[in-house]
C-alpha cells in the first residue's frame, strides 16, 4: 500500500501545549498516522504519513487549527510505511538552535523560489552554504556549496562565528532539507550583522520537486528522516540504506564491508562500538525481526482467511 508523506512546519505562537498535544495525538491515532510532530511555543514542525487518503482529514484539521498552509507543507509518496510509530512531543524549540536572537518571528532572510535559485547561486559573489549535518551532506548537495561539517544544527552558530565574516561574506545563500533550519539560521546570521542572507523556499525537497533534472544543479540525493533514507529528483526514493547503530546513510558498497552488521554497526561507527552497546543493539534487532516476522504471518493469515 502506498503512503502519503507530509513534511510541514510553521512558526506561530502557541499556548496550552499539553492540551494541544492530547488533541493532535488523538487526531493522528484516529487516522492511522505515523511519524513525528513537535510543538513548542514558537510553532509546529514534523513529518507524518498515512496510507492512501487517510492523511487528508489530519492535514485539514492542522490547517484549520494551526494554519500550516501559511507555513511550509510538502507532500511526497512512500511505497512502504516510512515510520515505525507515532510521536507527538512538546519541545522548547521546534528546531533546536539554542540562540534566542534567532527568532523567525522577528526577521528572516529573503526567500528564493526554486525557479530562481540556480541564477542566485551562479553569482560568484554569493557564498552558497549547506546548513545540514555532515551525515546529510554525504548523500548529496548543491554543486559548489560550502559544507560546514557540523554534527548537529546547534553547532551552526559556532561555525558562523568561527569561519564567516560579515565584512567579507556580503551575500549568503543557504539551504536545508525543507526550509525550517534556514529560517533560524538566516535569522541568526542577520542578528550577527550579515548584510544579505537568502534561503531556498521550501528547501531541497521543493527544489527537487519543481526543477527538472536536466536543469538541476543538485548532485546526488537528499537525505530524509524516515525509512526512505533519501530521495532524488521528482522525490523518487533513492538507493540508500541506513545504519541502525549510528543513523548514517549507507551505500550498497557500505553494506558489503566487514564493519557492517545489520541493526548494529557500519564503517562510520564501528570504532566507537562498545561490547555492551553491541549486545544491546543485537537484542533490539532480534526483537524487531521477530515483530516483523509476526506481522508478515498475520498478513498472510488474513489473506488466506479472505
Active site residues: 176
Distance CA 3, CA 52 (A): 6
Cα Rg, the chain, nearest whole Å: 20
Beta bridge partners of 89: 38
How far apart CA 9 and CA 224 sit, in angstroms, is 15
- The burial of 31, by beta-carbon neighbours within 10 Å (0-12 exposed, 13-18 middle, 19 or more buried), is given as middle
> Under a CB-based contact definition with an 8 Å cutoff, are residues 40 and 17 in contact?
yes
Dihedral angle sign, alpha carbons of residues 246, 249, 253, 256: positive
Lookup result for grid cell 546547534: 154
Cβ density class 118-132: b for 16+ within 10 Å, e for less: bebbeeeebbbbbbb
Distance of alpha carbon 256 from alpha carbon 154, whole angstroms? 33
Nearest to 146 by CA among 161, 125, 131: 131
Amino acid at each position: 500500500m502506498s503512503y502519503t508523506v507530509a513534511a510541514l512546519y510553521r512558526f506561530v505562537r502557541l499556548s496550552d501545549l499539553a492540551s494541544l498535544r492530547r488533541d493532535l495525538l488523538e487526531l493522528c491515532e484516529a487516522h492511522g498516522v505515523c511519524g513525528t510532530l513537535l510543538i513548542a511555543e514558537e510553532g509546529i514542525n514534523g513529518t507524518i504519513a498515512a496510507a492512501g487518503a487517510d492523511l487528508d482529514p489530519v492535514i485539514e484539521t492542522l490547517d484549520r487549527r494551526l494554519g500550516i498552509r501559511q507555513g511550509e507543507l510538502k507532500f511526497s509518496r512512500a511505497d512502504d510505511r516510512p515510520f515505525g510509530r507515532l510521536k507527538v512531543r512538546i519541545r522548547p524549540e521546534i528546531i533546536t538552535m539554542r540562540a534566542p536572537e534567532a527568532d523567525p518571528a522577528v526577521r528572516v532572510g529573503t526567500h528564493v523560489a526554486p525557479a530562481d535559485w540556480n541564477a542566485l547561486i551562479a553569482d560568484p559573489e554569493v557564498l552558497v552554504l549547506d546548513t545540514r549535518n555532515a551525515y546529510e551532506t554525504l548523500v548529496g548537495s548543491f554543486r559548489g556549496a560550502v559544507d560546514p561539517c557540523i554534527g548537529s544544527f546547534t553547532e551552526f552558530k559556532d561555525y558562523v562565528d568561527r569561519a564567516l565574516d560579515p565584512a567579507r561574506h556580503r551575500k549568503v545563500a543557504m539551504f536545508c532539507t525543507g526550509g525550517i533550519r534556514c529560517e533560524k539560521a538566516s535569522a541568526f546570521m542577520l542578528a550577527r550583522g550579515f548584510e544579505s542572507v537568502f534561503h531556498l523556499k521550501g528547501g531541497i525537497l521543493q527544489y527537487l520537486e519543481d526543477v527538472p533534472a536536466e536543469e538541476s544543479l543538485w548532485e546526488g540525493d537528499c537525505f530524509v528522516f524516515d525509512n526512505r533514507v533519501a530521495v532524488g529528483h521528482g522525490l523518487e526514493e533513492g538507493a540508500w540504506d541506513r545504519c541502525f547503530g549510528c543513523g548514517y546513510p549507507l551505500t550498497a558498497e557500505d553494506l558489503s564491508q566487514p564493519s557492517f552488521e545489520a541493526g548494529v554497526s557500519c564503517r562510520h561507527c564501528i570504532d566507537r562500538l562498545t561490547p555492551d552497546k553491541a549486545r544491546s543493539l543485537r537484542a533490539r534487532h532480534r526483537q524487531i525481526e521477530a515483530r516483523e516476522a509476526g506481522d508478515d504471518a498475520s498478513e498472510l493469515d488474513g489473506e488466506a482467511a479472505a
